[in-house]
Structure 1
Amino acid sequence: MARWEPGAVQRLQQAALELFSAQGFDRTTAAEIAAAAGLTERTFFRHFGDKREVLFMGQEDFVGAFLAGLDAAAPDAAPLDVVAACLTSAAGWFPAERRPYARLRQTVIDATPALVERERHKLAGVAVELARALRERDIPEPAATLAAESGITVFTVAFAQWTTTDDDRSLGVVCAEMLDALRSLDRPR
């Protein structure tokens, strides 16, 4: 094996996802992932603290994708309009070519209760950061927390649809549709 090769992180992620999908998360070892990627176990642990991190790497970037939308919203925008801008920004983090990877990753997560819990924890962290940012925009409580939590719920439902359906809508379009569905809940049927 080469001492250093470019793309190690991506190769480890792809190998891990394929192994998790084929034999299950719990039955896959870090050594197997490294071997499948043509790397050493030591290299695996240089990049990841444990095998869960292969699936959850990039949390700061994920949060940043949501928060980047704050700048796109008008300073006097209503809380849900700010959240809409955040959803648009976050959806941009998931272009169409990333959909097969996202779909397989979500299948692996959904099959393992501990990973489902970790995913929920990750999303809860985004909601906390989003609520904080909304308060910094002078959106008072409880509106800031309600808007942030609602935005994460919209994202979660949209992401589930985007990863399980075979239509060609972008995640941004699905997020916008789900936000419209949320806004329509207070209207008579």
Structure 2
Amino acid sequence: MGRWEPNARLRLVRAAIDLFAEQGYGSTTVPEIAERAALTRATFFRHFPDKREVLFAGQQVHTALLADGIAAAPRTATPVEAVAGALDALTSTFTPDQREFGPRLRAVIAGTPELQERAAFKRAGLAAATAAALRERGVPDAAACLAAEMGVHAFYRAFDRWLEAPYRETFPALARHALDELHAAAAALVSGPPSAGPGRPAP
């Protein structure tokens, strides 16, 4: 494979995940990642500041997609409906490649404390961007924060389901289902379980 072929970014991501899975994150170097991808070290640093960011390079794009999705929601949309539109905008950009290497990516992060910290930072950043976009629509802060956390939790819940094989639903559909589940659970916190009827105790 030539060093100047296209798709360098994806090749570097694949190479990094493969090496992290094979020999561990701490034992993998940037030159090894570049060599596995058949690219130069200089090419690596044109795309990523360090080896950790190979796994989180999409954060800025993801936050922008969430914010744009919320901004594009109808003015009559509820906060949860706006978040649902944002999830559609984000999850529709994921590719079969990301699903293919997703389980290895998840395993590498789970086994590396440094990456777990970075993953938590990314998750918090997605929630903060979502809440800020909701506040721009006039949603009160508490409601904006709650809807944002619900949306981000739905995203990660759906991502885990999307990685399971075989799958029959698209990532956007799974995210919508996950958001519906969380919305129903939140409503149940207020309304409580169904009543057994006047004068009759619940079982």
TM-score by length of 1: 0.89
Contact 1:80 1:147 in 2 (8 A): yes
Q: Distance in 1 between matches of 2:71 and 2:128?
A: 18
Distance 1:169 1:2, change over 3 A: closer
- Residue 25 (structure 2) pairs with residue 42 (structure 1): no
CA shift at 1:164, angstroms?
3.5
CA shift at 1:175, angstroms?
0.9
Q: Distance in 2 between matches of 1:94 and 1:5?
A: 22
CA shift at 1:2, angstroms?
7.0
Match of 1:162 in 2: 162
Match of 2:138 in 1: 138
Post-superposition Cα deviations, 1:20-61, rounded to whole Å, max 9, x if no partner, equal 111111111111111112233333223321101111112211
Identity %: 42
Give the counterpart letter for 2:141 in structure 1.
Answer: E
Match of 2:17 in 1: 17
Contact 1:65 1:93 in 2 (8 A): no
Match of 1:98 in 2: 98
Match of 1:58 in 2: 58
Match of 2:118 in 1: 118
CA shift at 1:5, angstroms?
4.5
Q: Distance in 2 between matches of 1:11 and 1:34?
A: 9
Structure 2 residue matching 1:93: 3-state secondary structure? coil
Give the counterpart letter for 2:123 in structure 1.
Answer: L
Give the counterpart letter for 1:16 in structure 2.
Answer: A
The count of aligned residue pairs is: 189
Q: Distance in 2 between matches of 1:56 and 1:150?
A: 21
CA shift at 1:95, angstroms?
3.5
Distance 1:7 1:172, change over 3 A: closer
Match of 2:82 in 1: 82
Larger of the two Rg values belongs to structure: 2
Contact 1:106 1:163 in 2 (8 A): no
Q: Distance in 2 between matches of 1:18 and 1:3?
A: 19
Match of 1:176 in 2: 176
Structure 2 residue matching 1:169: 3-state secondary structure? coil
Match of 2:197 in 1: none
Contact 1:12 1:34 in 2 (8 A): yes
Q: Distance in 1 between matches of 2:100 and 2:74?
A: 34
- Residue 153 (structure 2) pairs with residue 153 (structure 1): yes
Post-superposition Cα deviations, 1:128-175, rounded to whole Å, max 9, x if no partner, equal 111111111011121111111111111121112222343231111111
CA shift at 1:117, angstroms?
1.6
Q: Distance in 1 between matches of 2:95 and 2:43?
A: 29
Distance 1:37 1:78, change over 3 A: same
Distance 1:182 1:41, change over 3 A: same
Q: Distance in 2 between matches of 1:183 and 1:56?
A: 28
Q: Distance in 1 between matches of 2:127 and 2:66?
A: 10
Structure 1 gaps, min length 5: none
